[in-house]
Structures are given as structure tokens and as C-alpha cells.
Amino acid sequence: MPLPLPVDEPDLVAVNIGVRENGFPWLTRVAGRHLLVAGATGSGKGGVTWSILAAIGPAIHDGLVQVWVIDPKGGMEFGAGHDLFSRFAYDTGEATLTLLRDAAAILVDRAERLRGVSRQHVPSTADPLLLVVVDEIASLTAYITDRKIKAEVEQLLGLLLTQGRAVGVSVLACVQDPSKDVLALRQLFPTRIALRLTEATQAAMVLGQAARDHGALCEQIPDSLPGVAYVAEDGSAEVTRVRAFYVTDDDITRISTAYRPPVSGLGGLGGSCHGSDH
């Protein structure tokens, strides 16, 4: 996959993460946007996620973006790239809850500071864009046995998704098995990406029935084409067929090394990975 040079300044509202069906670059927005990536095992969810992280890598390196990751599968999915992350929670207990509490605290603080001053957050090294990556968002709370923690995690996720975009807190969430639980969340993600899925009904759950009527037949994407997906965007009736860049393990190592973030944190909240956060 092509890696932008560290001297490049990526446009966080037009991030190049692959190719559209017509041959033009697949550009997606990260700043001021939540993104939902759905796909069966081996469909290329990791490729989409890492294409995004690679594309915004120079901004991570320069301190304009911080990436906080929640990987409820023990770090299996994202552990290889941990050097790129300012926070990394790979359990479903206190580490995940603390990360979400800190993200919510940043959201509330920014909302208070921006009220009456600006309608939109502008990333800076003092106030970077916060990208919260959540692997398996639909099953995140399913791994949590403590009812109080589960309820608070759900409340905090809801806060980030409903109020985060305007204050520079974006969520990139992945889901393997879309279900009815995703329907309520779907409306909170302006960008919805559906890779290969196992059932016809799942595409409608992620993209909406209209998208399927316009040809988003995700269950017909061959196993041999990981990274191929259909994209639906709020405000557009168009459904676009795309393919994300192919990302190897070596690419992830290069990305994490080339774009390692600066040590300083968000108001003392996000400067390092620690304990079960790393």
C-alpha cells in the first residue's frame, strides 16, 4: 500500500484509503465523522482500518491526531501496531471503561471551551483530533460481565457518538456480525462501509435497504476479494463500490514505526499506554 511521507499534511476530510469502482481514489472523511466498518471474517476490516491509519499517519506523527484503541479480543487485532496508539485498551474491564471516561471528559471540556466561540473543532497539536477505534462494537458489552461497567460503557459510547463529531472526537468502529443491535447505532455513523457479509439482510442492517436495492449485494462479494466493499454516506443517495488498499503485517510495522506519535498527551489524559491499556 502507498504510505504518505511524514512531511505530507493529510487532508483529514478527504483521506485516500483505496480505489473506487470508477478508478478514482476512494476518499473518506475522518475529522467530524464517525465511520462504521462491517464485514465477515477475512473480508478486509483490518485493511480498511489500517488504510485509514496509514493515510492519517503524518498527522499522528505531528501530534494533530491521537488514536485510542479498544480491542476486546485481548489485543489480537491491533497489538502489532500499538506503537501508533496513544491509548490501547485490550480488555473489557476497567481499562476500557477508563479510556471511554477520558474520551468523554475531553469531549465535555471541548464543548465548554468551544461554546459561543466556534461551531467546529480545528485540530492542533494542543487540541488534536481524537480518533477512538473500537473493534467489534456490537459485541463489546457482551464480553463485560459486571452490569455497572456494562451500563456505563454503553452510556459513554452513546455520548461519543451523539456529541463527539463537532468537538473533534471521531469513532471508527468495526463489526463482524451485524444484528438488530447495530440498527440503533447505524444512524449515528454518517459513513457506513460494508464488506463481504454472510447474509443478505446484513447489508440492509448496515447500509439501509435502499442501498441494497441500488446493488449493494455484500453477500455476493467473493472470498477472494478482501477489501472490496460498498459505502453509504449520509446526505447522498449514491452507493459506491470500493476497494481498500491491501495492508500486510510488514506494512503495519512500517506504519507504526514511521508515524509514531509524540509523547505529549491530551491534557494529561492520553499521553501513554499503560497497565492493561497497553
241 domain residue, yes or no: yes
Q: What are phi and psi of 236, to 5 degrees?
A: -135, 135
Task: Quote the number of domains for the chain.
Answer: 1
How confident is the model over 50-64, as pLDDT tens digits? 999 999 999 999 999
Contact 129, 122 (CB under 8 A): no
39 domain residue, yes or no: yes
Which domain does 245 fall in, by range? 15-277
pLDDT at 269 over 60: no
Q: Looking at residue 65, what is its pLDDT?
A: 97
d(CA 238, CA 268): 42
CA 218 to chain centre: 20
Query: Could you tell me the three cell numbers for 117?
Result: 466561540
Residues making up the binding site: 39-46
7 domain residue, yes or no: no
> Taking the alpha carbons of 16, 104, 261, 249 in that order, is the dihedral positive or negative?
negative
1 domain residue, yes or no: no
89 domain residue, yes or no: yes
Long-range Cβ contacts of 12-17 (<8 Å, 24+ apart):
12/56, 12/59, 12/64, 12/65, 12/123, 12/129, 15/52, 15/55, 15/56, 16/55, 17/48, 17/51, 17/52, 17/55, 17/244, 17/245
Query: How does the average pLDDT of the chain come out, rounded?
Result: 88
Name the residue among 103, 95, 105 with its Cα closest to residue 149: 95
6 domain residue, yes or no: no
Task: For residue 181, give the amino acid letter.
Answer: D
pLDDT at 272 over 50: no
Query: Could you tell me the three cell numbers for 86?
Result: 496513544
Residues making up the binding site for ATP: 39-46
Strand ranges across the sheet with 228-233: 25-28, 15-20, 239-244, 228-233, 191-194, 35-38, 169-175, 129-134, 65-70, 87-89
What is the full DSSP assignment across 1-32?
Answer: -----TT----TTSEEEEEETTSSEEEE--TT
Q: Radius of gyration (Cα) for the chain, nearest Å?
A: 17
Q: Looking at residue 63, what is its pLDDT?
A: 95
Stretch (H or E) spanning 150: helix 147-163
125 domain residue, yes or no: yes
2 domain residue, yes or no: no
Name the residue among 199, 195, 200, 203 with its Cα closest to residue 243: 195
d(CA 27, CA 29): 7
Q: Hey, which of 13-22, 74-83, 260-269 has the most confident mean pLDDT?
A: 13-22
| Helix, strand, coil share (%) of the chain residues, nearest 5 | 35, 20, 45
CATH number, residue 84: 3.40.50.300
Say what the pTM is.
Answer: 0.91
Task: For residue 139, give the amino acid letter.
Answer: S
Distances (CA, A) of 177 to 23, 73, 194, 246: 30, 15, 11, 22
How confident is the model over 136-192, as pLDDT tens digits? 887 777 777 788 888 898 899 999 999 999 999 999 999 998 876 666 788 899 999
How confident is the model over 199-248, as pLDDT tens digits? 988 998 899 888 888 899 999 999 999 999 999 999 888 899 999 999 99
